[in-house]
A and B are shown apart, each in its own frame.
Chain A
Amino acid sequence: MSALAAELQGHEPMAPEPWRILAVRREVADGEVFTWTLEPLSGRAATARPGQFNMLYLFGVGEVAISVSAIEDDGAVVHTIRAVGSVTRAMQGLRTGEVVGVRGPFGTAWPVADAKGRDLVLAAGGIGLAPLRPVVHAVLARRQDFGRVLLCYGARSPRDLIFRDELDEWQVRRELDLRVTVDRGTADWKGDVGVVTQLIDRGGFDGRNALAMVCGPEVMMRFSALSLHRRGVAPERTFVSMERSMRCALGFCGHCQIGPHFVCRDGPVFPYPVMEPAFRVNEL
């Protein structure tokens, strides 16, 4: 074990454990979004549930909260990261075989079991597809348990679409109704142009019997919830995933607070009515 790994060894909730990067994958052309497959050096780790996050620690740089974007059968965990700040940008330079610290999993999960027997609407905006991808995997593994499944995915432009291979595969498998749109098309883009809420407005699900999970920028979640409501989905059956930067991730420091709620402990997945006050934006 390396000195770094030894230093990271421990089981305290505040102490990161050493995990090795098994694979690095670029999600967009410039590599600003990338996916790591990680395995614990100890060989064992608590199993994350869809919607939860880990604290990823880069020695000497800092720690960030990153959602789980897939959970592998062998215990490996997948994280999809956008390089937006000093820590995530430094992470962009790491290669296969390097070791990072991991604490977690933390937080609440998407209520996948509650969607059984119902239509399920997943609405993802931008990198918001990453926290929802494990839900898609869970649903496809037990497809017969669910009614119609819609995945509405919006991104800024075609070059910003992540998980391209998997999107193609889902499109071909036809086990879910995949709808993809971009805010700005390009000359070679043959798909839809417009915002993700329009994909929801198009319907194709039974709103009264549907459960919805929404992840993306807050303004996108707010308008998606409105579209879902118009389509008959009860606000209590609409779930959103909130994003705040984290420090302790244990409900101690208050850094992630939204009103009375700690995103790290009470979230990140919340029923929409709990977060509705935080979402209020000026109407047109």
Chain B
Amino acid sequence: MRELLEILQGQSFFDGLTEAQLKLVAAFAALRSFEAGRYLFREHEPADAFYLIRSGRVSLESLLPGRQPGTFMTLGGGDMLGWSWLIPPYRWHYDARALEPVHTAHFDAAALRERMDHDPVLGYALHKRFTMLIVERLQAARLQHLDIYASGEGDVGLGG
């Protein structure tokens, strides 16, 4: 528990939570590791967890009909993984696979969600943080699909 609290305290995602709130969140967490190649979760499975990746890299993959599963994003040490536990129907929308040995803090999100319903202050504090995370990932996804590195029109080479 103490170790988990320290891990959460060192994570900017949780900055601004009170000590009491951090302790509460830590109570729903457990250290969990995955060998290279193992799935943290699979698409369509119930989303009842989220993760703080402490080290190692995780590939987020989506299956397109008739195609090989494709990595649309990789996450690494310090990244948060998973928000589908916040939004009905609470199912994962993609696969998450360990590319190398991955060490995480795993959060029992189903239980935490219930707790948040009864503790709106904590609920709001966590919602705000996950909303920020969702916005960051949405912006990243938008940039990724804009093809921003396509050649411009101009005959100029100043790095743009």
Task: Give the interface of A toward B (CB within 8 A).
Answer: 53, 62, 64-67, 79-82, 84-88, 124-132, 155-156, 160, 181, 183-185, 187, 190-195, 197-198, 201-204, 215-220, 223, 241-246, 263, 268, 284
B160 touches A128 (CB 8 A): yes
Answer whether residue B76 sits at the interface, using C-beta atoms and an 8 A cutoff. Answer: yes
- Decide if the interface of chain B is mainly helix, strand, loop or mixed: loop
B149 touches A217 (CB 8 A): yes
> Which residues of the partner chain B approach A129 to less than 8 Å between Cβ atoms?
159
Answer whether residue B157 sits at the interface, using C-beta atoms and an 8 A cutoff. Answer: yes
> Which residues of the partner chain A approach B37 to less than 8 Å between Cβ atoms?
none
- Report the bound CA distance from A132 to B158 in whole Å: 10
A85 touches B155 (CB 8 A): yes
> Which residues of the partner chain A approach B152 to less than 8 Å between Cβ atoms?
84, 217, 243
**Max chain A CB contacts within 10 Å: which of B70, B99, B157, B160?**
B157
> Which residues of the partner chain B approach A84 to less than 8 Å between Cβ atoms?
151-155, 157
> Which one of B149, B154, B158, B159 lies within 8 Å of A183 (CB-CB)?
B149
B139 touches A67 (CB 8 A): no
Among B71-90, those with CB < 8 Å from A are: 71-74, 76-79
B157 touches A66 (CB 8 A): yes
A242 touches B139 (CB 8 A): no
> Which one of B79, B148, B156 lies within 8 Å of A246 (CB-CB)?
B156
Task: Give the interface of B toward A (CB within 8 A).
Answer: 12, 57, 59, 68, 70-74, 76-79, 99, 135-136, 138-140, 142-144, 146-160
> Which residues of the partner chain B approach A65 to less than 8 Å between Cβ atoms?
156-158
> Which one of B136, B139, B156 lies within 8 Å of A64 (CB-CB)?
B156
- Report the bound CA distance from A268 to B159 in whole Å: 10
B157 touches A156 (CB 8 A): no
B138 touches A66 (CB 8 A): no
- Report the bound CA distance from A53 to B136 in whole Å: 34
> Which one of A80, A194, A223 lies within 8 Å of B157 (CB-CB)?
A80
Tell me how far the C-beta of B60 lies from the nearest C-beta in chain A, rounded to whole angstroms: 8
> Which residues of the partner chain B approach A62 to less than 8 Å between Cβ atoms?
155
A194 touches B140 (CB 8 A): yes
> Which residues of the partner chain B approach A197 to less than 8 Å between Cβ atoms?
136, 139-140, 143
Inter-chain CB contacts under 8 Å: number = 140
> Which residues of the partner chain B approach A244 to less than 8 Å between Cβ atoms?
154, 156, 158
- Report the bound CA distance from A64 to B158 in whole Å: 10
- Report the bound CA distance from A57 to B87 in whole Å: 58
- Report the bound CA distance from A174 to B135 in whole Å: 33
A64 touches B157 (CB 8 A): yes
Tell me how far the C-beta of B66 lies from the nearest C-beta in chain A, rounded to whole angstroms: 16
> Which residues of the partner chain B approach A185 to less than 8 Å between Cβ atoms?
70-71
- Report the bound CA distance from A12 to B156 in whole Å: 22
Tell me how far the C-beta of A195 lies from the nearest C-beta in chain B, rounded to whole angstroms: 5
- Report the bound CA distance from A181 to B142 in whole Å: 16
Query: Residue of B at shortest CB range from A160?
Result: B149
B157 touches A79 (CB 8 A): yes
A195 touches B149 (CB 8 A): no
> Which one of B74, B147, B159 lies within 8 Å of A241 (CB-CB)?
B159
A195 touches B140 (CB 8 A): yes
> Which one of B73, B99, B136, B148 lies within 8 Å of A217 (CB-CB)?
B148
Pairs A–B under 8 Å by Cβ, sample size 17? A64-B157, A65-B157, A66-B157, A66-B158, A84-B152, A126-B149, A128-B159, A183-B144, A193-B71, A193-B73, A198-B136, A201-B136, A217-B152, A220-B143, A243-B154, A245-B154, A245-B155
B72 touches A193 (CB 8 A): yes
B144 touches A131 (CB 8 A): no
> Which residues of the partner chain B approach A156 to less than 8 Å between Cβ atoms?
147, 149-150
> Which residues of the partner chain A approach B157 to less than 8 Å between Cβ atoms?
64-67, 79-82, 84, 88, 127, 130, 243
> Which residues of the partner chain A approach B155 to less than 8 Å between Cβ atoms?
62, 64, 84-88, 245
B74 touches A194 (CB 8 A): yes
> Which residues of the partner chain B approach A193 to less than 8 Å between Cβ atoms?
59, 71-74
Tell me how far the C-beta of B68 lies from the nearest C-beta in chain A, rounded to whole angstroms: 7
- Report the bound CA distance from A192 to B60 in whole Å: 11
- With A192-B76, A284-B135, A284-B139 known as contacts, the answer to whether A268 contacts B144 (CB < 8 A) is no
